[in-house]
Amino acid sequence: MLTYRTLQAGNRSYLALTAMFTLLSLLGFMAARYMEHEGHYVTGMTNQIVWGIPHVAAIFLILAASGVLNIASISSVFNAEDYKPLARLSGLLAITLLLGGLLILVLDLGRPDRLIVAMTTYNFRSIFAWNIFLYTGFAFVVLIYLWIMMDPRLSKFVKPVGTIAFSWRLILTTGTGSIFGFLVARESYDTAIMAPLFIVHSLAIGTAVFILIASTAFSLNRIRINIDLIRRLGRLLLWFVLSVAYMVAIYHLTNLYISGHHNVERFILKDGGIYTWFFWGGQVVLGYLVPIILLVVGKKFIVRRVLLASVCTVIGAFIQIYVLIIGGQAYPLNIFPGYEVIGGWHASQSRDYFPTLPEFALSLGGIAFALLITIISLRVLPFLPSKLKRDSAF
């Protein structure tokens, strides 16, 4: 019979992680308070680049929250019994990562108190208004999903509720991608492929994040996980990374086919300076090629290669979101198509973005806060299996 237990808190690693996450969270709150008091002029953001590093971190966490739930969905919706011991941890991470991402968004508004207006006054022609319902609804559905998984008397409802959570996750990620797909003023965003691209991107990020967090939690609890399960997770990660690479290729080929998007493609792929370097070096090489090679070539050291591929996928995914959000804003708005704007408004020319220390502190603080909630929840409630089948990989 499958049993669960809490995270052991007696070792130094647990105390060190808790202290580090707490410190980073406090620094993040201090940075948010500083930016709110002084104004956003202390950041690297401008009237042209209004979404900076904090938004990159927030979108990364939201996509990770959506994708990490895929492990629980494989267990309950698709009846994969080997993934069942991991389902509770998957649901917990979906909630904590989402909270971390939303916390960054709220604190990066400049006036967090204005969130009350956004929660009480809705413009249903805006995709941002729809996303408020999608995010809160997702957290509510996953909480019910966790409750049912943790109560044996409700086990017959696991699959139907898991199906609802799985469907909601797809809708949520579609809504997040549509934020960019509906922004027709930005040539780098204006495409319907953003929604499916964000879905497959979330699956890759979520799988990589789950592998890293699960391996750390199991190591702290001295839980032995079998090689076959690691191999399956690595295979999942491989297919998701390949899917992201394919969707990104389609996205850029489509823009190259559309004559009106040639300039923005030249900016990202060739003439964009740091954004071009990030695209080819960080997104393509580190985010796609290295994980694919690690997960395909060789059969030895499978655990180390899966962990390293996960780290590369996480870093590459963050860079990909940076290139998409920051690079898309750095490219000038085409206010008068067919004409060249000389002088006047500064948004007619590309701009560089130099993030400041408070932005980095807020971003790291939001990520640390999500991990802090996770590690505390693991200590309080039984989310981790007591043991897994077969012999150890960790």
Instruction: Name the percent of the chain lying above pLDDT 70.
Output: 90
On the question of pLDDT at 348 being above 70, the answer is no
In a domain, 273, yes or no: yes
Could you give the residue ranges of the DSSP H alpha helices within the chain? 12-38, 53-68, 70-76, 87-107, 115-120, 127-150, 158-181, 194-220, 227-257, 262-266, 274-277, 290-296, 302-322, 328-330, 357-380
Please check the confidence at residue 349 and state whether its pLDDT lies above 80.
no
In tens, the pLDDT along 363-376 reads 999 999 999 999 99
For residue 393, the model assigns a pLDDT of 42
Q: pLDDT for 31-42, tens place per residue?
A: 988 888 888 788
| Mean pLDDT, rounded, for 304-308 | 92
Quick check: is 116 in a domain? yes
88 is a domain residue? yes
Q: How far apart are CA 31 and CA 36, in angstroms?
A: 9
Q: Is the pLDDT of residue 137 over 50?
A: yes
Does residue 7 lie within any of the structural domains?
Answer: no
Q: Are 276 and 184 in contact (CB under 8 A)?
A: no
Task: Return the CATH number at 147.
Answer: 1.20.1630.10
- pLDDT beyond 90 at 298: no
In this prediction, residue 352 has a pLDDT band, given cuts at 50, 70 and 90, of confident
d(CA 299, CA 324): 35
User: Looking at the 3D structure of the chain, how many domains does it have?
Assistant: 1
Residue-number span of the structural domain to which 277 is assigned: 18-334+345-385
* Domain membership flag for residue 370: yes
Place 110 in a pLDDT band, splitting at 50, 70 and 90. low
Residue 36 lies in a domain: yes
Least confident interval from 89-103, 178-192, 295-309, 320-334? 178-192
Confidence label for 246 from pLDDT (cuts 50, 70 and 90) = very high
Tokens of 157: 């409802």
Residue 346 has pLDDT above 90, yes or no: no
| Packed helices 194-220 and 87-107: angle between N→C axes, nearest 10 degrees | 120
4 part of a folded domain? no
Region 130-137: mean pLDDT is 83
Within a domain: 11: no
pLDDT for position 341: 67
pTM score = 0.91
